[in-house]
């Protein structure tokens, strides 16, 4: 049924079923598995127990915790690029509502994290912070730290205190090379682009986000409505006329 389903939730439900089948393999009988589940549920039911609750944003609705940790806030991961491709602006707004749900689950503190490099399908890929990070009010954001790593380009990130503007990190993306097994290696840098004047309404092309149309210009930053990736702000040197 879920294989035939075309909704955004279908793949997640299939993954859950695969995990259930994998968990069952660890037990000789169904009774042993159910006994294990009952034991785990008894521990969870103890409100005084010292524990960490792991859940999805959907599952967190209506709940509150003193401290909340939200990981993986990167473009393409959250908001999900697949959801945006399939549902457009409506899907993006649903992702934004989920971001609000996640942040407001925290009574005292909410920690949001994202990775500059992530390994997918055996390959390291560069990431940029989620647009939802950029939308956070700067007055309520405190930049903690980045995890230490053995990488020669780490000083590129050790500048002024963090402000929730994803463009800060996008502007550095051309200076970063592929990260292989925890060691950074700069393979190439983007050549300096020739100065060019763009116009509002002009159609452009971006290597990652595809085709779009300029809706606003602020210095060297362009606000672009991409046909598939939604609305984004990018530096003009990263786009070219379509």
DSSP string, 68-136: EEE---BTBTTTBHHHHHHHHHHHHHHHHHHHHHHHTTEEEEEEE---SEEEETTEEEE--B-HHHHTS
In the chain, DSSP assigns E strands to 65-70, 106-112, 117-120, 123-126, 179-180, 183-184, 203-206, 210-218, 221-226, 230-235, 239-241
77 and 182 share one domain: yes
In a shared domain, residues 219 and 163: no
Q: Are residues 182 and 67 in the same domain?
A: yes
Quick one: pLDDT band at residue 148, thresholds 50, 70, 90? low
For residue 218, name the pLDDT band (cuts at 50, 70, 90): confident
126 & 168 share domain: yes
Identify the pLDDT of residue 101: 93
Domain co-membership, 88 together with 155? yes
Q: Given a cut of 70, is residue 47 above it in pLDDT?
A: no
Cα distance between residue 10 and residue 13, in whole Å: 5
Q: Domain check: are 10 and 107 in the same one? A: no
Q: Which two tokens stand for residue 61?
A: 């609705």
148 and 200 both lie in a single domain: no
pTM of the model: 0.46
Helix axis angle, 30-44 to 10-24, nearest 10°: 110
- Higher confidence at residue 30 or residue 154? 30
Say how many domains are in the chain: 3
**Do both 5 and 73 map to the same domain?**
no
Asked whether the bond before 21 is cis by omega within 30 degrees of 0, the reply is no
> In this predicted model, what pLDDT tens digit does every residue of 157-204 receive, in sequence order?
344 344 344 444 443 333 333 333 444 454 544 444 455 789 999 999
Between 105 and 171, the higher pLDDT residue:
105
22, 52, 134 from 41: Cα distances, Å = 19, 14, 39
pLDDT-above-70 percentage for the chain: 75
Give yes or no: residues 80 and 132 share one domain.
Answer: yes
Same domain, 158 and 224: no
Instruction: Categorize the per-residue pLDDT at 146 as very low, low, confident or very high, splitting at 50, 70 and 90.
Output: low
- H/E segment holding residue 14: helix 10-24
Please, what is the average pLDDT of the chain? Answer: 77
Residue in the structure block whose two tokens are 């390291």: 124
Question: Can you give the residue range of the structural domain that contains 170?
Answer: 57-190
User: b/e map of 100-129 (b: 16 or more CB within 10 Å)?
Assistant: eebbebbeeebebebbbbbeeeeeeebbbb
Please name the residues in contact with 131: beta carbons below 8 A apart, sequence gap of 6 or more.
75, 79, 166, 230, 232
């Amino acid at each position: 049924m879920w294989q035939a389903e075309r909704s955004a939730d279908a793949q997640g439900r299939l993954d859950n079923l695969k995990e259930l089948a994998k968990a069952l393999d660890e037990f000789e009988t169904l009774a042993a598995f159910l006994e294990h589940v009952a034991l785990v549920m008894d521990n969870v039911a103890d409100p005084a127990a010292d524990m960490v609750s792991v859940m999805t944003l959907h599952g967190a609705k209506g709940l509150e915790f003193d401290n909340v940790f939200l990981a993986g806030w990167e473009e393409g991961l959250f908001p999900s690029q697949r959801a945006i491709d399939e549902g457009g602006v409506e899907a993006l707004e649903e992702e934004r509502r989920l971001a609000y749900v996640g942040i407001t689950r925290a009574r005292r503190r909410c920690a949001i994290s994202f990775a500059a490099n992530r390994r997918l399908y055996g390959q390291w890929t560069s990431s940029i912070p989620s647009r939802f990070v950029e939308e956070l009010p700067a007055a309520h954001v405190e930049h903690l730290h980045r995890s230490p790593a053995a990488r020669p380009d780490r000083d590129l990130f050790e500048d002024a205190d963090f402000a929730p503007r994803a463009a800060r990190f996008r502007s550095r993306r051309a200076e970063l090379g592929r990260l292989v097994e925890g060691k950074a290696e700069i393979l190439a840098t983007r050549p300096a682009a020739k100065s060019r004047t763009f116009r509002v309404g002009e159609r452009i092309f971006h290597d990652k986000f595809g085709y779009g149309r300029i809706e606003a210009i602020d210095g060297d930053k362009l606000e672009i409505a991409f046909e598939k990736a939604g609305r984004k702000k990018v530096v003009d040197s990263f786009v070219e006329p379509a």
